[in-house]
Amino acid sequence: MRALLWVTVLLVALWSGYWFVGKGAVERAATGFFETAPAQGLEAAHEGLVVRGFPNRFDLTVTEPRLADPATGLAWEAPFFQILSLSYRPWHVIAAFPPQQRLTVQGQALTLDSGKLQASVVVSPNTRLTLDRTTLVGDALALSSATAGWTIHAQELRLASRSVADTGLRHQLGLEAKDLRPDQGMMSLLPGLPGLIDSLRIDAELGLTAPIDRFAGQARPEITDLALREARLIWGGLDLTARGEIALSDGVPEGRVDITLRGWRLLVPMLVASGILRAELAPTVERMLETLALQSGSAEDLALPLILAGGQMRLGPLPLGPLPLGPAPRF
pLDDT digits (tens, 9 = 90+) for 107-146: 899 999 999 999 999 998 887 889 999 999 999 999 999 8
Question: Could you tell me where the beta strands, DSSP code E, fall in 164-251?
Answer: 170-181, 197-208, 223-235, 238-249
Output the CA–CA distances (angstroms, integers) from residue 220 to 91, 140, 194, 247, 253, in the order listed. 21, 32, 41, 18, 19
Q: pLDDT tens digits, residue range 65-101?
A: 999 998 888 999 999 999 999 887 888 999 999 999 9
Nearest to 314 by CA among 259, 234, 272, 264: 259
85 forms beta bridges with 58, 93
Please report, for the chain, the start and end positions of each structural domain, with discontinuous segments joined by +: 1-84, 97-236, 240-331
pLDDT of 330 reads: 62
Query: Which is higher by pLDDT, 197 or 184?
Result: 197
Q: pLDDT tens digits, residue range 24-74?
A: 888 998 898 899 889 888 899 999 999 998 888 899 999 999 999 988 889
Query: What DSSP character marks residue 222?
Result: B
Query: What DSSP character marks residue 143?
Result: E
Q: Which residues contact 230 (CB under 8 A, 6 or more apart)?
A: 201, 202, 203, 241, 242, 243
Query: Which is higher by pLDDT, 208 or 278?
Result: 208
Query: Which is higher by pLDDT, 132 or 328?
Result: 132
Q: Is the pLDDT of residue 258 over 90?
A: yes
pLDDT of 77 reads: 97
**111, 79 in Cβ contact below 8 A?**
no
End-to-end Cα distance, the chain = 56
Q: pLDDT tens digits, residue range 192-244?
A: 788 899 899 999 999 999 999 888 877 888 899 999 999 999 998 889 999 99
**241, 228 in Cβ contact below 8 A?**
no
pLDDT above 70: percentage of residues in the chain: 92
The predicted model scores a pTM of 0.84
pLDDT of 165 reads: 79
pLDDT of 249 reads: 76
For the chain, the average pLDDT equals 87
